[in-house]
């Protein structure tokens, strides 16, 4: 009997110990729960009115630490030769990640590039990068501005050396990739993580399409939308407002004879073709075209209605019914511009998490 | 219980057999120990050894030139025995950047099974697949860091430069930096989304005349190639420095690349 009693007591002690341990475990768990609540990082989220992304997210899963490192790098002037120019210098958030007021980008030592800084948004859906599409992977894009003599004029090797000397980056890379190493591939993947998070999908248009907050188009916006679908939507395809293709839109050859897509493919059919830009955030991203030649949207519409040149490979959509360009009445232009305003995403250009900290 | 036990034995046996089969499939046909095979790329210019900056050479057009920089990718190495047993060096171990300015890089060392090899195949350049791979798979000499001077990567039109030769010549026009320089940057893997020219060249060399490679453990078989830059100028198309001082991503680069294959001359093998 006594041995049985002892056995029972032992059992009881065991249960007590187990119970107290489980309390500890519970306590630990609680702490992590609290941490999760503090972090507002939601990761990459595909807007419900968008297609599947093109970028291979499985090769670069977006984490909070990777995003934070990418953001630090994006706004890091040490990426340039004399530590003066960051990616954010020519891709300014409040201007839809373009360099507002500059026809062509303005880089190191006040040197000028040959093209207009394109807006940086919805890059996960881009099939190619640059106005000529020469780059086919977002991870391979940042090497260009960093090494271009008129942009940041630096060597990747030097950038990595500078970053390795900064405890801030040693720690940020370690958090993001779990290693003390800092490599080019990691830097590019982190930059991609930040850029992929620059998703613009909260314009009035998006809310109307998703039937959010009871938003609807005004009658003028609705008329403009109908005109848009009829006259512009073939190339500026919804919901990204570009089909990612390269087209000759009949603009006059620029003074620097930029041959666009032809330079990347050497196919004569691609001469003077440029990538169809998205129409999202137009209100923030003036000036327009690959060389920023049009300062206003009126200038752009004037081109499409009255100034399209009969280039040898002019896009078929711009020469229908034996007529060059697009026919739009003055009233139709106004309504179209009213609709285009619904593509401005205020939230995107003011979001704190995308800003320099 | 007894029948269940029997089933278990049966299942185990079947599993063992299956795993044994799959194991066999994994291994290469040659099961011998691996040993080092070295490919030596010894750059020359016609009848002379190539000397950076100091040597002066003359092409078929009579244009005198010096070479300041010469480097190229050697990749995708394969060997074949007399009886057509082929061994492909695993791709991740098969990319080399040969630089005239760095003697150590002129020896491309790979591990192949012990054996007597009669045929050697390699690529001058970087295959199209690796040109389009995820950046994390491009380490070492393939790290796409760009760079204007000795970089071997085009950032603006994603792709590797396979062969880079720069130098001076009185026949070259004065460039913006005030120097009479010629530059041949040859690449082009066929294009990613739109087809472009493909300058990836595969070179197959029969080693039997100048010495087969006898690869044995504890020794190092060294296949010694002369790489004649003069053959880049003088070939199917004779390349004139005066007419084409800068050949980069252009249709003309195809003419230069078509001369490449004849640059490689197997001089001898040290076994």
Question: Are A231 and A123 contained in the same domain?
Answer: no
Give tens-digit pLDDT for B151-184.
899 999 999 999 999 999 999 999 888 899 999 9
Question: Cβ contact (<8 Å) for B134 and A59?
Answer: yes
Q: In this predicted structure, what is the pLDDT of residue A176?
A: 97
Among A155, A178, A200, the domain-final residue is: A200
CB atoms within 10 A of CB B76: 21
pLDDT confidence of residue A109: 81
Are the beta carbons of B158 and A136 separated by less than 8 Å?
Answer: yes
Does residue A171 sit within a domain?
Answer: yes
Q: Indicate whether A61 and A177 sit together in one domain.
A: yes
**pLDDT tens-digit series, residues B58-80:** 999 999 999 999 999 999 999 99
Residue A103, in any domain of the structure: yes
Beta carbons of A134 and A264 less than 8 angstroms apart:
yes
B106 pLDDT above the threshold of 60: yes
* B90 touching chain A per CB within 8 A: no
A275 closest CA partner among A284, A257, A286, A263:
A263
Instruction: Count the domains in chain A.
Output: 2
Say whether B155 and A264 touch across the interface (CB within 8 A).
no
Does the pLDDT at position B29 exceed 50? no
Q: Which residues, numbered 256 to 315 in chain A, qualify as contacts with chain B under a Cβ-Cβ cut-off of 8 Å? A: 263-267, 270
Helix A167-177 to helix A184-196 angle (10° resolution) is 70
- pTM score of the predicted model: 0.84
Which of A200, A225, A245 is the C-terminal boundary of a domain? Answer: A200
Category of B234 on φ-ψ map: left (φ > 0), alpha (ψ -120 to 50) or beta = beta
Q: Is there a contact between B57 and B45 (Cβ–Cβ < 8 Å)?
A: yes
β-bridge partners, B23: none
A104 close contact with B: CB closer than 8 A? no
Q: What is the mean pLDDT of chain B?
A: 89
Closest-CA distance, A265 to chain B, in angstroms, reads 6
Residue-range definition of the domain harbouring residue A139: 57-200
Nearest-Cα distance to chain B for A127, in Å, is 9
Q: Are residues A108 and A157 in the same domain?
A: yes
The pLDDT value recorded for residue B27 is: 38
First-last CA distance in chain B: 64
- Does a structural domain hold residue A50? no
pLDDT at B49 over 70: yes
DSSP-based three-state secondary structure for A314: strand
Could you tell me if A219 and A178 lie in one domain? no
pLDDT at B20: 45
Please determine, for residue B22, whether its predicted confidence score (pLDDT) is greater than 90.
no
Cis peptide leading into B85, omega within 30 of 0?
no
pLDDT of residue A230: 96
CA-based nearest distance A81→chain B, Å = 13
Contact A318, A325 (CB under 8 A): yes
Distance from CA of A161 to the nearest CA of B (A): 13
Q: Is B177 on the interface with A (CB under 8 A)?
A: no
Q: In this structure, is residue A167 part of a structural domain?
A: yes
What are the backbone angles phi and psi of residue B69, rounded to the nearest 5°? -145, 135
Residue B198 in contact with partner chain A when CB distance is under 8 A: no
- The predicted pLDDT at position A103 comes to 86
Whether B108 and B74 have beta carbons less than 8 Å apart is answered as yes
Task: Note whether A226 and A181 are same-domain residues.
Answer: no
Residue A300 to chain B, least CA–CA distance (Å) = 27
The verdict on residue A353 lying in a domain is no
Q: Are residues A130 and A97 in the same domain?
A: yes
> Is the link from the previous residue into A287 a cis peptide, with omega within 30 of 0?
yes
Q: Does the model's ipTM exceed the 0.90 cut?
A: no
- Residue A159 near chain B (CB below 8 Å): no
Looking at the partner chain, which of A144, A266, A267 has a beta carbon nearest the beta carbon of B155?
A144
Residues A88 and A152 in one domain: yes
> CB atoms < 10 A from the CB of B104, how many?
6
Q: Which of A164, A179, A200 is the last residue of a domain?
A: A200
pLDDT tens digit at each of 357 positions of chain A: 455 566 666 666 666 665 555 545 555 454 445 555 577 899 999 999 999 999 999 999 999 999 999 999 999 999 999 999 999 999 999 999 999 888 888 888 888 888 999 999 999 999 999 999 999 999 999 999 999 988 999 999 999 999 999 999 999 999 999 998 999 999 999 999 999 999 999 999 999 999 998 999 999 999 999 999 999 999 999 999 999 999 999 999 999 999 999 999 999 999 999 999 999 999 999 999 999 999 999 999 999 999 999 999 999 999 998 899 999 999 999 999 999 999 999 999 999 999 999
Q: How confident is the model at residue B11, as a pLDDT?
A: 58
List the CATH number of the domain containing A142: 1.10.760.10
How many Cβ atoms sit within 10 Å of the Cβ of residue A310? 10
Q: Which residues of B touch A140 (CB under 8 A)?
A: 135, 144, 155, 158
A273 chain-B contacts, CB cut-off 8 A:
none
Closest approach of B187 to chain A, Cα-based (Å): 12
Query: For residues A153 and A144, what is the distance between their CA atoms, to the nearest angstrom?
Result: 9
The answer to whether residues A235 and A332 belong to one domain is yes
Residue B31 has a pLDDT of 58
Report whether B161 contacts B126 (CB < 8 A): no
Residue A352 domain-assigned? no
Closest-CA distance of chain A to residue B117, Å = 37
Whether residues A195 and A219 fall in one domain: no
pLDDT the model gives residue A321: 86
In whole angstroms, how far apart are CA B152 and each of A2, A148, A254, B113, B136? Answer: 84, 15, 31, 31, 17
Burial class (CB in 10 A: 0-12, 13-18, 19+), B21: exposed
Q: Domain for residue A43, yes or no?
A: no
Do A101 and A187 share a structural domain? yes
- Picking from B158, B191, B197, the nearest residue to A137 by CB comes out as B158
Please write down the HEC assignment for all residues of chain B.
CHHHHHHHHHHHHHHHHHHHHHHHHHCCCCCCCEEEEEEEEEEEECCEECCCCCCCEECCCCCEEEEEEEEEEEEEEEEEECCCCEEECCHHHCEEEEECCEHHHHEEEEEEECEEEEEEEEEECCCHHHHCCCHHHCCHHHCCCCCCCCCCEECCCCEEEEEEEEEEECCCCECCCCCEEEEEEEECECCCCCCCCECCEEEEEECCCCCCEEECCCCEEEEEEEEECHHHHCCCCCCCCCCCCEECCCCCHHHHHHHHHHHEEEEEEEC
Q: Which residues of B touch A183 (CB under 8 A)?
A: 139, 143
Percent pLDDT > 70 in chain B is: 87
Is A105 an interface residue toward B (CB < 8 Å)? no
* Interatomic CA distance for residues A291 and A103, integer angstroms: 6
Which has the closest alpha carbon to A60: A3, A8, A123? A123
Q: Copy the structure tokens of residue A60.
A: 């670069």
Three-state DSSP class for residue A119: coil
- Which chain B positions have a beta carbon within 8 Å of A247's beta carbon? none
- The nearest alpha carbon in chain B to A244 belongs to B193
The verdict on residue A224 lying in a domain is yes
Residue in A56, A130, A184 closest to B145 by CB: A184
Mean pLDDT is lowest, of A92-96, B4-8, B60-64, B255-259, for B4-8
Beta strands B34-45 and B220-228, pairing class: parallel
Query: A268 and A191 share a domain?
Result: no
Nearest to B209 by CA among B262, B166, B160, B269: B269
Residue B23 has pLDDT above 50, yes or no: no
Same domain, A187 and A227: no
Contact A256, A104 (CB under 8 A): no
pLDDT at B165: 97
- B163: tokens are 């062969």
Whether A150 contacts chain B with CB within 8 A: no
Q: With CB atoms and an 8 Å threshold, state whether A185 touches B139.
A: yes
Instruction: Please report the beta strands in chain A, taking only residues with DSSP state E, as ranges in sequence order.
Output: 246-247, 274-275
Q: In chain A, positions 184-243, which contact chain B (CB-CB < 8 Å)?
A: 184-185, 188-189
């Amino acid at each position: 009997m006594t041995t049985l009693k002892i056995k029972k007591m032992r059992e009881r002690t065991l249960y007590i110990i187990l119970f107290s341990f489980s309390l500890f475990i519970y306590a630990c768990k609680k702490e992590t729960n609290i941490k999760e609540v503090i972090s507002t990082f939601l990761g990459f989220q595909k807007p419900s009115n968008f297609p599947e992304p093109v970028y291979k997210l499985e090769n670069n899963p977006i984490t909070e630490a990777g995003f934070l490192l990418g953001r630090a790098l994006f706004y890091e002037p040490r990426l340039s030769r004399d530590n003066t120019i960051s990616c954010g210098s020519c891709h300014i958030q409040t201007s839809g990640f373009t360099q507002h007021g500059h026809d062509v980008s303005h880089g190191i030592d006040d040197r000028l590039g040959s093209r207009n800084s394109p807006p940086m948004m919805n890059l996960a859906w881009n099939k190619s990068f640059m106005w000529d599409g020469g780059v086919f992977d977002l991870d391979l894009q940042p090497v260009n501005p960093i090494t271009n003599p008129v942009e940041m004029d630096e060597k990747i090797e030097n950038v990595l050396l500078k970053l390795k000397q900064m405890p801030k980056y040693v720690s940020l890379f370690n958090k993001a990739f779990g290693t003390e190493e800092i490599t080019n591939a990691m830097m590019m993947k982190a930059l991609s993580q930040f850029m992929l998070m620059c998703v613009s999908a909260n314009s009035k248009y998006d809310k109307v399409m998703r039937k959010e907050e009871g938003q609807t188009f005004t009658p003028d916006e609705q008329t403009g939308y109908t005109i848009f679908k009829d006259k512009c939507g073939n190339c500026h395809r919804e919901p990204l407002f570009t089909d990612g293709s390269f087209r000759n839109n009949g603009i006059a050859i620029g003074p620097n004879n930029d041959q666009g897509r032809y330079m990347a493919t050497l196919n004569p059919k691609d001469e003077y073709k440029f990538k169809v830009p998205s129409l999202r955030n137009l209100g923030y991203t003036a000036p327009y075209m690959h060389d920023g030649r049009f300062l206003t949207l009126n200038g752009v519409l004037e081109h499409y209605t009255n100034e399209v040149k009969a280039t040898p490979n002019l896009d078929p959509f711009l020469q229908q019914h034996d007529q060059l360009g697009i026919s739009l009445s003055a009233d139709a232009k106004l309504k179209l511009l009213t609709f285009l305003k619904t593509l401005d995403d205020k939230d995107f250009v003011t979001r704190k998490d995308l800003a320099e900290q | 219980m007894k029948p269940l036990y029997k089933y278990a034995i049966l299942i185990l046996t079947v599993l063992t057999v299956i795993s044994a089969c799959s194991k066999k499939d994994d291994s290469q046909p040659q099961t011998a120990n691996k040993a080092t095979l070295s490919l030596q790329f010894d750059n020359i210019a016609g009848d002379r050894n190539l000397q950076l900056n100091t040597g002066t050479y003359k092409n078929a057009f009579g244009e005198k030139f010096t070479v300041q920089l010469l480097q190229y990718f050697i990749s995708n190495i394969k060997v074949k025995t007399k009886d057509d047993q082929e061994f492909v060096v695993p791709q991740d171990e098969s990319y080399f950047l040969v630089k005239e300015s760095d003697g150590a890089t002129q020896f491309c060392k790979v591990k192949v099974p012990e054996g007597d090899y009669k045929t050697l195949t390699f690529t001058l350049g970087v295959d199209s697949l690796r040109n389009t791979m995820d950046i994390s798979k491009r380490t070492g000499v393939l790290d796409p860091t760009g760079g204007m001077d000795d970089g071997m990567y085009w950032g603006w039109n994603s792709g590797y430069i396979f062969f880079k030769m720069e130098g001076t010549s009185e026949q070259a026009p004065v460039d913006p930096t005030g120097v009479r320089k010629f530059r041949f940057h040859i690449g082009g893997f066929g294009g990613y989304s739109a087809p472009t020219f493909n300058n990836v060249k595969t070179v197959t060399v029969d080693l039997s005349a100048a010495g087969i490679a006898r690869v044995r453990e504890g020794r190092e078989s060294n296949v010694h190639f002369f790489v004649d830059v003069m053959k880049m100028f003088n070939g199917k198309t004779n390349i004139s420095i005066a007419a084409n001082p800068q050949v980069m991503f252009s249709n003309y680069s195809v003419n230069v690349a078509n001369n490449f294959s004849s640059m490689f001359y197997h001089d001898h093998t040290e076994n």
